[in-house]
Structure 1
Amino acid sequence: MVVSNSGGSTTSAEATLSVSSADGSPVISRQPTAQTVSVGAAVSFSVSATGSGTLAYQWRKDGATLSGATAATHTLAAVTTDDAGQYDVVVSTGVGSVTSSAATLTVSSTSAVATHAAAVHSAMETFLGTLSTSQQGTAQLGWALDSARRWSNLPASMVARNGVKWGDLSTVQKTAARSLITTALGDTGNALHLGMQAADEALVSTYGASSGTYGAGHSYIAALGTPSASDFWLLQLTGHHFTANLAMGGAYASPTPLFLGVEPKGSFTLSGTTWDPMQAQRSAFANLGAALTAYAGARFSKTYGDVLFGANGSGSIDGSCPRSYASVTDLGLAYSSLSSTDQALVQTAIRSYVNTQASAVAAELLSAYLSDSALASTSVGYAGTGTVTAKGNYFRIAGPRVWIEFSVQSGVIVSSDIHFHTIWRDKLADYGGKCVS
């Protein structure tokens, strides 16, 4: 109470009013509150409650119990995008319990990701400005998940692609397109894209494949949704053995689903330049496979002729959303069961895919995939002999979000050899988070 007169005022000491239920079961007096933070920030949720006896707390995220979160305050030291969701707490005593209201944790994209999205938008506008009116109509599509799913690991002559065709672009247009791709993917991703185009060109010039089906010209660029510096849209880069679905301005910055395959499988020379597009991924899984053979529990009981969740839906395009990850019961070995040396090999394999992206996007995704909590729920396994040199070998890394498959298959054009099919998916962020229930 504040007591005052003409000479001034004074405030009394505080008196606490505690409200309890009639039977002593807990009553929540202060609910946890919603918060919005950036990736890497710390955040705490707190609750205040009264009740007879000792109060017990159990925090939950999206209805699932959080291990070790049994205090009145739950703190996340370094937030990742994987931490976004609904948080509540069950407060209990010996005579009853009560559940708090849910507090939403929103994890915003980092400023680096926002800056990256704005730069990609600018490069896209420049590219579109070089196109004719009819080409612009081909390059720009309205956003629809069914449209985004139109990519395949088969040549474009067999399964049609979205967007404008590389082989139909002028020199000026290709220069703007290359600038767009470099901006969107970064230098490493751009080099990968160039290498994939070169590999398809080598199938024609070195191995005699038809230029009507294979070659660098059979790559495509499309914008799904209206390109924007801040709102959601999707840049789709696709072709025979390369597809990236680069989400801009949405809930998640992600290039997934990302398909990488290559034939010829390794190093080759084209017009005096030596290429080896998937050297990083091939080496990472070769090293990981050699290590996994020492663990009896790492070998799958099944064999796999191709990746499970590639473009193997109806019409040889990407399958329906969401993907049925829970239906895969062949899980391999827990990451926690590996030695620290072999755990590092798993992380290297994950990085070999994520680091094909611009640094801002890669940093955000790696913070989610390689956090202690994510790795604690990650598994790895193989089928075959653990090598990348023979048909039938297969590898999979599966985490709470990350899903990577690497499959060794018979050659198609280079029929005496092998070639690779691989897929990187994100259970939350495929197509910018549009592929969830």
Structure 2
Amino acid sequence: MKKMNPTHKKNRLACALAICIAAPWVQAADVNVTGFLSVGGGFVDDEYEDAANYGGYEEDLTFDNNLLGLQVSGQVSEKLTATAQLIARSNSDYDVNAEWAYLTWQATDDVKLRAGRLRTPFYLYSDFLDVGYAYSWITPPREVYYLPFNNVDGIDIYATKTLGIFDTTFQAYFGSFNDEFSLDGVQTEAETRNQAGIAATLGKDWWTLRAAYHQADLTVDVAGAVLDPATGFTLGQFLDSLPTTLRGVTTNVLVDEDKATFAQIGLTIDTGTFVAAAEHVEFEAKNSMLAKNVREYVMGGVRTGNWLFHVTVARSDDEAANLAAGIPVAAPTLPVIGVLNQVAASQSDKRDVISLGTRWDVTSGSALKFQIDDVDDEVNGGQKVYSVALQTVF
């Protein structure tokens, strides 16, 4: 398996960015600083025995779902600006991470080019994914907004245009990414190379239609995934123990420069009184242990005064990989087939969630939200999650 480059220390990067930003701040007056804050918590009515609870909450009420972000942009020249977004989260001990760090060249009134660390345009709400105030829920539906990495280091082109009666946008990018994330409770690394994608919107007045497509060579260090918590037996140890005649299955299990694709289509509606949103996404990494993800949600709501009441139905209907394909079914191979089926099933989610939520715009720039998620998981059973958050922009 290809050895991956060490992950950059995010807090060091953030400090370096802060130093770089501070110098022009002193010298230039044309600097814009904005921020956003989310303080929230919640609890579940019954904990899952062998799996992480939905939303990461426990049976006791906790307020540890907090986030603070600052976005700084400065004019470098007439057509060149620098932008950085720094975020500290409670679930990472408030270490400061650089989510964005890029330069923008305004080529024309309608076209701009950017280079640096960008937000990958996976979803409808990707551009303000961390700004909870910008959408109805406390967090967007986890069935669709689930990818553990949402940034790319590279370049993009972003264009806006009015075509007849429609407002349109178009974005294309190319880059790569390397970061750590949790796989089945174990910290591991993911890397993309030759990552490219396009996203486009078409809208008029109260509706916007969006579609996107992405592809990349994906590598994930899955060898450390634990198969047996009691003994600590890992996937890598299992693959190393296979007889020579079955070593070929290794290439179908490991995620090593496998071609991965992600497709999205979505719609938002806001008439002032009625709001709605829907998204459907599909992710696939061929010749790997990762399941084909098929996920979607539909949300509808009504706004009255400073209150918004909404309901969301979300679904995960993943298709597990067939890792045992081609292995003859015989007594010596049955244990191997069983483990491979276990590995494939662990990467596949089948879950339905109904969410009821309210949003109260307390003041301009601040909203108090309440949400109940009724979770029906095919593997872990049912669970209800109660959460609350105060979210602001400033």
Give the structure-1-normalised TM-score.
0.25
Which of structures 1 and 2 has the bigger CA Rg? 1
Higher strand proportion (structure 1 or 2) = 2
Higher helix proportion (structure 1 or 2) = 1
